[in-house]
Structure 1
Amino acid sequence: MAFRRRSVLGWGVAIVLFFAVQVFLNRDMASGPAPAIEGRFLDGSPASLDSLRGRPALVYFWASWCPICGTMEHKIESLARDHAVVTVAYQSGDAAEVARHVAERHLDWRVVPDPDGINGERYGIRGVPAFFILGPDGTIRSRSMGFTPEWLLRLRLWLAAG
């Protein structure tokens, strides 16, 4: 019985620590109306979040040099089939380098290169991956940094719709 209480207590402490770390990491991340994304998509069209209005959307900051981002690729690809997704390649090189990475990895995303991290600064990210769930009105409804399961991103997108 004592072992069981220690186990439950240990899990409780771990969960509280997890959420405390999330609050700490997310403290400087943008909130309220989503900041504009500067630059151009890889296809040359101007980057804009205006096309996302009217539905929930995901703004995803990632980097070609980030191993956790690599584990998220298929999850983001799956989400992009069902939801509006804009990705920002944070400090991953110029458009040609990002396009090469996207082609090598067979990614079918709308990508805005952010070689100098300007968009990352506007969103207040401290690392990647970073996720911003936007409501239909363009306000940030949820934000997180680090590995995030696909089911949790889908839940947040579903909640942002309401």
Structure 2
Amino acid sequence: MEITGLKKQVFDFKQRETDTLVYFFAPWCSVCHLSIDNLEAVHNDQNTTQIIAIALDYQSETEVRDFIAQHELSFPVYLGNEEVKQKFKISAYPSYYVVTNQAEVRSKVAGYTTELGILLRL
């Protein structure tokens, strides 16, 4: 499965050398606003796992860009759609998935997660 980022870059889960931590969020989600800084801190502190975010249930690309700017995110953010949401069976925000380079879900959790909680899943 491929998804397109805000900078029109394409992400293919099967063309990765390492696992990828995928953060599914919605820009209107208050828990996402509270937890995204923990993910940014993990991204800044370690370089072994790829981290990306996928926006779902957004009204416009501008809404997603505002979320990115508000939290000064340094990892790639992609625009998801209903197909992505259904494939990963996203039912709550935020959702954290660790996906292998063979596009298999190794672990997942939903809701607020601390930096330590994120690191323990990697």
TM-score bucket (shorter structure) = 0.7 to 0.9
Q: Which of residues 137, 140, 143 in structure 1 aligns to 2:105?
A: 140
1:95 corresponds to 2:58: no
The one-letter amino acid of 1:108's match is: S
**What's the CA shift for 1:71?**
1.1
**What's the CA shift for 1:43?**
0.9
Which 5+ residue runs of structure 1 have no aligned equivalent? 1-35, 158-162
**What's the CA shift for 1:107?**
1.8
1:113 corresponds to 2:79: yes
| Paired residues for 1:1-40 under 5 Å | 36-38=1-3, 40=4
Which 5+ residue runs of structure 2 have no aligned equivalent? none
Show CA shifts across 1:96-135 (max 9, x none): 3311321233222311123x43311110011111111123
- Quick check: which one's helix share is greater? 1
- Distance in 1 between the 2:58 and 2:86 partners? 15
Larger Rg: 1
Aligned length in residues: 119
- Distance in 2 between the 1:129 and 1:67 partners? 9
- Quick check: which one's strand share is greater? 2
The one-letter amino acid of 2:118's match is: L
Contact 1:54 1:137 in 2 (8 A): no
- Distance in 2 between the 1:102 and 1:122 partners? 24
The one-letter amino acid of 1:99's match is: R
1:71 aligned partner: 34
Contact 1:61 1:89 in 2 (8 A): yes
The one-letter amino acid of 1:48's match is: D
SS of 1:58's equivalent in the other structure is strand
SS of 1:124's equivalent in the other structure is coil
**What's the CA shift for 1:37?**
4.3
- Distance in 1 between the 2:11 and 2:19 partners? 17
Q: Which of residues 152, 155, 159 in structure 1 aligns to 2:117?
A: 152
SS of 1:47's equivalent in the other structure is strand
In the superposition, the TM-score normalised over structure 2's length comes to 0.83
In the superposition, the TM-score normalised over structure 1's length comes to 0.65
- Distance in 2 between the 1:80 and 1:118 partners? 27
